[in-house]
Structure 1
Amino acid sequence: MEMSTQTALVFAAQAGDQNAFEALVSAYRRELLVHCYQMLGSFHDAEDLVQETLLRAWEKRTTLTSPASYRAWLYRIATNLCLNRLRSAPRRSLPTQTHPGSDPNSPSPQRVREPIWLEPFPDDLEASQHSDPQDRAERNERTTLAFLVALQRLTPAQRAILLLREVLEWPASEVAEWLNLSVAAVNSGLQRARRALQECNSPSEKETALPIPQFQSLLDRYVTSWEQADIPGLVALLREDAWFTMPPLPVWLQGRAAIATELSTRIRVPGRHWRLLPTRANGSPAFGLYRQEAQADSYQLFGLMVLGVVEGQIANMVTFLELSSFSSFALPPTLPYVREHI
């Protein structure tokens, strides 16, 4: 937004013009959503906090003295609201971080419905969707599940410092003022956060870009294997050390053999059929997973599957089974019965 336009809108909003306020904040709504999501690990909590941020911005609009710093002012409000929420909210993660590896021959445990799991983020709401490919790729890396898992292991203050300093590139002096810290504390917190992220991120699991035809071929074979209940074909697409988890079930499995055993009990059920609907989540390929039971006349939405791809193979599969956790995705609740999928 051009500075002269922003200044005019700020002054109009401060005078009580709600239309000007809406035009002003609409330019920042999506990026604030990403920021709050990174802080909280929950899409729905992030939506709530963005709404609260904008409500606070309207209520306190007359306190802003520098129209040029309006974006930074919004981030300050949003960050402080997130920090307040995190004082009582549990840390979110995936079962790979909270539970030991599972035995595929053991009975499945009960779902853990407390708000401790990461929620997926729909790519079509990412703030960078109209930016250039390089910028979009960098921003996508900051919403991957791997980045979110690592980020949630930081303290809330370290999380805020890292995002404000490294991602948004604000000066240490401003971040210190916002968070009521000294500049030395901000710099120290940033160094600790960087070290923690380096310890969490394994170079062998870093997602790598494939040529588009090769990437699409991999995804097509994945879909075909699921829909034809072809366990050997599906396992052949996995890395030897691939892992698979299904929150809110507190289980995860690693290795082709364990995953093959698990999927065999879930896919190869008499009368059960599957369809996959492509989408995007957390900067990664994803699929709405639909299940049809015997005699049913449609496929019911069953889960959202997010894939991590490394060096031309699938390195991890995270299947979110709680429908409410991905209700923001444009996935229909049912798909029509298609005979050729039998």
Structure 2
Amino acid sequence: MKPTLCERELRSLMAVYHRPLLAYATRITGDGWLAEDLVQEALTRLWQRPEVVSNRARITPWLFTVVRNLLIDRARARARRPHEVFDVCDNVQQDHADETLMSMTVTAMLDGLTPQHREVLEHVYLRDSTLRQAARELNIPEGTAKSRLRNALRLLRDDLRDPLAA
């Protein structure tokens, strides 16, 4: 088992090298977030290679080289990947996230209804039955079907107005 740096040593090294490495990486990349990622990866690699720490004179050039190499590796990996091409046809939807979210929301709202309310809604709206036909198929009075439909719609409307209340 190879030795690792203790937390105190690592914090000390981070205090010394984090700011200069971040400045270097930001100057090269022009992107603060990417620079931070590169510095974190370089410091992680330092933590994994305690033999580098044993020679204090080697730490600085080693860390800067690691940051530069990480950036080069990232550029090479990006160059190897094919460019994304988006089909701009009118009949093809690129993103189904909105439809999926709406479907999940409606499903959750319907699951919140009682089975009796849901049955009437399904007959009237999904099966295109009239209220009279729905009442006959469910074997309930027409007035009951009408009340259940009205109450189900009211509950759904209330859920849409305040989705966090459910």
TM-score bracket relative to the smaller structure:
0.3 to 0.5
Which has a greater percent of strand?
Answer: 1
Larger radius of gyration: 2
TM-score (norm 1): 0.21
- Higher relative contact order (Cα pairs below 8 Å, separated by 6+ residues): 1
